[in-house]
Amino acid sequence: MRRDTQSAMLRIAIRDGLPVLDERGNIAGRGGYLHPGAECLERFVKSKVRQFKSLRSGIDREQRMRIVQSIRTRLDSEASLE
């Protein structure tokens, strides 16, 4: 059964004090979820939110851009496998 990557929420977690894409969903602790759609990713990067309640942590713009790049790389590699 093929999973629809455009509708699956992706987990973000804090590892060693930095936000990272939790690709396997196994990083301990609190996590936040992000929809991988282009509009959602753009909103996430442009967000002026200083503190993400689900993570109990702030994520600055540079960190958000790094997470979005990881998501886009993942989606591109999944699309090339189809």
| Residue 5, in any domain of the structure | no
| Residue 4, in any domain of the structure | no
Cα distance between residue 59 and residue 50, in whole Å: 7
| Residue 33, in any domain of the structure | yes
Cβ atoms of 56 and 32 within 8 Å: the answer is: no
Query: What single letter denotes the amino acid at residue 55?
Result: L
- pLDDT tens-digit series, residues 43-54: 999 998 888 888
- pLDDT tens-digit series, residues 3-55: 454 468 999 999 999 999 998 889 999 999 999 999 999 999 999 888 888 89
The pTM of the full predicted model, rounded to 2 decimals, is 0.80
pLDDT given for residue 77 in this prediction: 86
Enumerate the β-bridge partners of residue 10.
Answer: 34
| Residue 46, in any domain of the structure | yes
pLDDT given for residue 38 in this prediction: 93
| Residue 55, in any domain of the structure | yes
Range(s) of the domain holding residue 20:
10-77
| Residue 3, in any domain of the structure | no
Domain count, the chain: 1
| Residue 82, in any domain of the structure | no
